[in-house]
Structure formats: structure tokens, C-alpha cells
């Protein structure tokens, strides 16, 4: 049931995003579009509540509960940037807005971009780890929380990988080609 709800939340995210942007730019109702976009976090609240109820009703904590926490964490850390990304493209395509700004390709500007990206992924992973830890405490000693702890380790790896990538762009900045 939890996996189906995660899939429904992901589908709901994109449906609300498309509806909000369509209202904002195609129907020329920016306030209504913004209201629809503000409903996005309700999906994660529903997922969090259902996951907590499932655990309270005696479900053995497993990878599905961990995936729910990770999904919520990723929405917290990356959801806003995904909405901004889609908004810029939708505005350009349907409302005559300026072309979306592309990330820098070279030098320290690219390094700064990679650090911002690593920061978003770190927020996502730390949020997921906090939710996983809350689930571990919620279950207590009565349940096997190994799968939740495994997700926490994966989130640490995710943070590490993003920090290595950002550090790589800082220590070894990509240079612009000659004549560019």
C-alpha cells in the first residue's frame, strides 16, 4: 500500500504542477495557479500520516517505509527547484517569457552551481535521515529497524557523492575552450 501511495504522490506532484502552471499561464489566473502549486506539500503530509499509521498498526518496518521517508525528503530538498525549473520552461514556451537560464559550464561559476546543487541534495538527504530516525524511535525496540538504518546509510552516501562532485568542480574547475 505504501509503494502505491508513493507512486500516487509522484503522479499527483506532476499533475498539480501541470495544473498550476496551466492555470498560471494558459488560463491567466496566476493566483489560482499559485494556490494549486501550494497544495503540493499536502501530498507529502498524506504520505507521512499514512506511513505513521501503518507503523502504528503493527507493520514491520521495511524498505517501503524507508522509501516513503526518502521520497518526502527529496520533495523537501528538491521540490522547490523542480517547480522553478518547470515554471521557467512553461513561462518561456506558453507565455512569452525569457529563455530559461542555463547553468554555467565553466570555472568557479560552475563550482558555485554544483555547491548549490549539493546543498539541495544534502537538505533532501538530511530530511530523509531525520524522518527515518523518527520512524526508528517510533517503532522502538519492538521492531526490526535494520531496513530504515540501511536507508540512512544510503543517504550518507548520497551526501558524500554530492560533496565530492562539488569539491571536484572547485579543485579542478573546467576551463572554457580557447576562443569561447
Angle at the Cα of 160 from the Cα atoms of 159 and 166, rounded to 5 degrees? 90
User: What is the average pLDDT score of the chain?
Assistant: 94
Whole-number percent of the chain with pLDDT over 70: 99
pLDDT at 58: 86
As a whole number, mean pLDDT of residues 84-90 equals 96
Helix, strand, coil tally for the chain in percent (to 5): 80, 0, 20
Q: In 10 A of CB 52, how many CB atoms?
A: 16
Higher pLDDT, 139 or 89: 89
Model pTM?
Answer: 0.92
Amino acid at each position: 500500500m505504501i509503494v502505491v501511495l508513493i507512486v500516487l504522490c509522484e503522479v499527483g506532484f506532476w499533475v498539480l504542477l501541470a495544473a498550476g502552471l496551466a492555470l498560471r499561464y494558459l488560463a491567466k489566473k496566476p493566483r489560482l495557479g499559485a494556490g494549486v502549486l501550494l497544495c503540493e506539500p499536502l501530498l507529502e503530509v498524506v504520505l507521512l500520516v499514512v506511513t505513521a499509521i501503518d507503523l502504528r498498526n503493527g507493520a514491520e518496518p521495511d524498505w517501503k517505509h524507508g522509501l516513503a521517508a526518502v521520497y518526502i525528503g527529496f520533495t523537501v530538498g528538491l521540490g522547490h527547484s523542480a517547480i522553478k525549473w518547470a515554471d521557467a520552461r512553461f513561462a518561456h514556451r506558453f507565455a512569452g517569457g525569457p529563455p530559461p537560464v542555463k547553468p554555467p559550464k565553466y570555472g568557479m561559476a560552475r563550482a558555485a552551481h554544483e555547491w548549490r546543487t549539493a546543498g539541495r541534495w544534502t537538505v533532501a538527504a538530511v530530511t530523509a535521515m531525520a524522518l527515518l530516525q523518527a520512524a526508528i524511535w517510533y517503532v522502538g525496540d519492538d521492531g526490526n529497524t535494520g531496513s530504515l538504518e540501511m536507508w540512512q546509510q544510503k543517504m550518507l552516501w548520497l551526501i558524500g557523492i554530492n560533496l565530492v562532485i562539488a569539491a571536484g568542480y572547485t579543485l579542478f574547475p573546467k576551463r572554457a575552450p580557447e576562443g569561447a
